[in-house]
Amino acid sequence: MDAKIENSKKESHVVRSRLAYSLGAFGHDAFFALLSTYFMMYVTGHLFTTSDKAFDNRMVGYVGAIIMILRIVELLIDPLIGNAIDRTNTRWGKFKPWVVGGGIISAVLLAALFTPLGGLNTSNPILYLVVFAIIYIIMDVFYSFNDVGFWSMVPAMSFDSHERDKIATFARVGSTIGGQIIGFVIMPMVLFFSINQNGGTGDDRGWFIFAAIVAAISAITAIGVGMFTHEQKSLLRENKEETKLKDILHILIKNDQLLAIAMSYLFFTTGQTLLNSFELYYFTYILGDAKAFSILGGLNTIVGVISVFAFPLFSGKIGRHKLFYGAASIEVLGALIFAFAGKSLALVLLGAELFFIPQPIIFLVVLMTITDSVEYGQLKLGHRDESLTLSIRPLLDKFGGAVANGVVVMATVAAGMTGGATAATVTAHGVNIFKIYMFLIPIALIIIGIIIFVLKVKLDEKSHAKIVAKLEQTWGNQFNKDNDTAKTVPAPQPGVTEITSPVAGTLVDLKDVNDENFASGNMGKGFAITPSDGKVIAPFSGTVRATFSTRHAVGLESDNGIMLLIHVGIDTVKLRGTGFISYFDKDQHFDKGDELMEFWDPAIKKAGLDDTVMVTVTNSKDFDIKLLKNAGDKVTSKDIVMEVTKK
């Protein structure tokens, strides 16, 4: 009974943690949507509304330039923020203090930015610009602390890969809803709280109250993350080295596939962010119906969640590259329909939705390709730069957002959409200028991104599988030292090591497996097993030395220098981690008998793949290896199958 109560409490804690983290993602992305997309609407339309139009436009231009410059400067600060978080050590954990503190401070400052700062915007414009710049950069830095800390929590909350996947899925759903629902509620709420409807654009009071509500939600959900989630302390998460901008530039130059996907995505994210940022302007100043924007926001919220869950289905059937081409084509088609929709709400919604639907899919294709470029770079450069590689994508998003903010200011000033403008005051000439900025520039950027992808991005599922196979063949012979290309081989120690079977099942002679690399002995001497159980148990005490994003294999180094590769199934790299759970991190020490992995055998067989588990000593030349059991024998994880003795 006590055990059942304890398990029930544990499950309740896990569910509470997932929910709190998902709500944190909701508040986090609602904040980001308000800041990155809709704050400029307030700046251009409501912050400067004097009778001097030239002054208003000039001040809007100054504020826009400050925002763009500060957001680009903040990119240089990001690595320092990551390192500061890595060096944090408090009773509440490494990340939660920054999630909570950064969330609260940035929320308060964002709400302050939706005000004229006590009238300084007109009474003392220069002082206003100085104070605005100070508040904005402090807000942006603390938001970055919150952002980096929040998304870094996933591996800290659990060492179970299966649980990590669930946490990440909950977070993706929360962030998608949070980011899109702002578009659904913004104008109805702004107008509800406004005293002056101002042709459907609202007033200062309405915008401030709405911003304060979003800021409060962001702060409260950040506090919820701090209260209801738990960081697992481990030496595995201790920072080993600093992330530096020069290191990021170095791997971009050296890793041609990472550079290619980064350049392609840079044009994509800039074009997408730019057109998305203009959508509310279109509804407000061209359709003259800002409330109708809620329809688009509602559709985007639903479609965004569906797209997140649909991605694995489509990518598994047609491949990432074909999926990318199809999604990009739909996106361009949607932008073109939107561009020629005029004042037809039906065509506007059709074009805008076709433009939005592919965006989560393109994002995931890019994310998976960047992830695969980790192994590509590892094979090409001789060392693994996982954290540096994965840090590039958010930098590109931030840069694209910074550029988009600057272009929005130029477009609205040129089109006459500043200083209390309404749909009735915008001229036909202004509309045409606005459409050039809203459609021609983003479409051109997206097409450039497509061209770069077609010509330069060669890394796909098949090539990645080949790369992983090559890494499997070479990892046991070479190790990097101090993240350099110089290699060192661990020195085998004297003595006899008894190696148990890592999985239960029936022994198979290695030369009879349906993989030439293993059967020929290229991967080292050892044995194979037809599994009857999906648990992989450590056959000795040692350290995890090789991990793969596809989780189908693990490279181990025993305490006395034996390099052992455990490879589950043949060609299972194609499953991309589906059906596999790992309970370790790279460089983690383990004891004999610890569970290292689990795999779901039906998933392997359903994919038409061989589930044979291969176990080889990759540095066999240094040892005398003796098999103690014969092919056909039944074994468990406690049975000694092989003796390894230093020559």
pLDDT score for 208:
96
pTM across the whole model: 0.76
Residue 440 has pLDDT above 80, yes or no: yes
Beta-strand pair 563-568/553-558: antiparallel
Compute the average pLDDT of residues 316-321.
Answer: 78
The residue out of 442, 459, 476 marking a domain boundary is 459
- Note whether 123 and 263 are same-domain residues: no
The mean-pLDDT minimum among 104-118, 170-184, 269-283 falls in 170-184
CA distance 104 to 222: 7
Residue 463 has pLDDT above 80, yes or no: yes
- Sign of the torsion formed by the C-alpha atoms of 307, 310, 311 and 315: negative
CA distance 260 to 273: 20
- Note whether 208 and 93 are same-domain residues: yes
Domain holding 544, by residue range, is 465-646
- Note whether 191 and 287 are same-domain residues: no
Per the model's pLDDT, the better-predicted residue between 483 and 180 turns out to be: 180
Q: How confident is the model at residue 539 (pLDDT cuts 50, 70, 90)?
A: very high
pLDDT score for 9:
54
Residue 105 lies in a domain: yes
DSSP state of 237: G
pLDDT score for 549:
72
Per the model's pLDDT, the better-predicted residue between 1 and 50 turns out to be: 50
The residue out of 459, 474, 490 marking a domain boundary is 459
Residue 1 lies in a domain: no
Residue 5 lies in a domain: no
Q: How confident is the model at residue 315 (pLDDT cuts 50, 70, 90)?
A: low
The residue out of 443, 459, 475 marking a domain boundary is 459
CA distance 589 to 607: 33
- Note whether 614 and 597 are same-domain residues: yes
Residue 9 lies in a domain: no
410, burial (CB in 10 Å: exposed 0-12, middle 13-18, buried 19+):
middle
Residue 482 has pLDDT above 70, yes or no: no
Buried b (16+ CB within 10 A) or exposed e, 69-90: ebbeebbebbbebbeebbebee
- Note whether 316 and 191 are same-domain residues: no
The contacts of residue 238 (CB under 8 Å, 6+ apart) are none
Q: Domain holding 609: CATH number?
A: 2.70.70.10
- Note whether 448 and 507 are same-domain residues: no
Buried b (16+ CB within 10 A) or exposed e, 24-36: bbbbbbbbbbbbb
DSSP state of 624: E
pLDDT score for 316:
62
The mean-pLDDT minimum among 332-336, 382-386, 471-475, 484-488 falls in 484-488
Average pLDDT of the chain to the nearest whole number: 85
pLDDT score for 508:
94
Domain count, the chain: 3
pLDDT score for 483:
39
Distance of CA 452 to the CA centre of its chain: 22
Q: How confident is the model at residue 123 (pLDDT cuts 50, 70, 90)?
A: very high
Tokens, residue 105: 């401070």
Per the model's pLDDT, the better-predicted residue between 217 and 573 turns out to be: 217
pLDDT score for 192:
93
- Note whether 384 and 295 are same-domain residues: yes
- Note whether 584 and 535 are same-domain residues: yes
416 sits in the region (left: phi over 0; alpha: psi -120 to 50; else beta) called: left
CA distance 549 to 373: 11
Compute the average pLDDT of residues 37-52.
Answer: 90
Residue 3 lies in a domain: no
Catalytic residue among 13, 552, 567, 589: 567
11, burial (CB in 10 Å: exposed 0-12, middle 13-18, buried 19+):
exposed
Per the model's pLDDT, the better-predicted residue between 585 and 104 turns out to be: 104
Residue 461 has pLDDT above 90, yes or no: no
CA distance 26 to 23: 5
Residue 256 lies in a domain: yes
- Percent of the chain at pLDDT above 90? 48
User: pLDDT digit string (tens) for 56-94?
Assistant: 999 999 999 999 999 888 887 777 777 777 677 888 888
At 198, give phi and psi (nearest 5°). 50, 50
Per the model's pLDDT, the better-predicted residue between 74 and 14 turns out to be: 74
Q: Domain holding 253: CATH number?
A: 1.20.1250.20
The contacts of residue 306 (CB under 8 Å, 6+ apart) are none
Per the model's pLDDT, the better-predicted residue between 252 and 288 turns out to be: 288
Per the model's pLDDT, the better-predicted residue between 79 and 197 turns out to be: 197
Side chain identity, residue 85: I
Contact 374, 389 (CB under 8 A): yes
Q: How confident is the model at residue 476 (pLDDT cuts 50, 70, 90)?
A: low
Side chain identity, residue 307: S
- Note whether 327 and 417 are same-domain residues: yes
pLDDT score for 244:
58
pLDDT score for 11:
61
Residue 237 lies in a domain: no
For residue 321, indicate whether it is catalytic.
no
- Note whether 278 and 296 are same-domain residues: yes
pLDDT score for 155:
63
- Note whether 192 and 267 are same-domain residues: no
Q: How confident is the model at residue 330 (pLDDT cuts 50, 70, 90)?
A: very high
- Note whether 120 and 187 are same-domain residues: yes
Residue 436 has pLDDT above 90, yes or no: yes
Residue 331 has pLDDT above 90, yes or no: yes
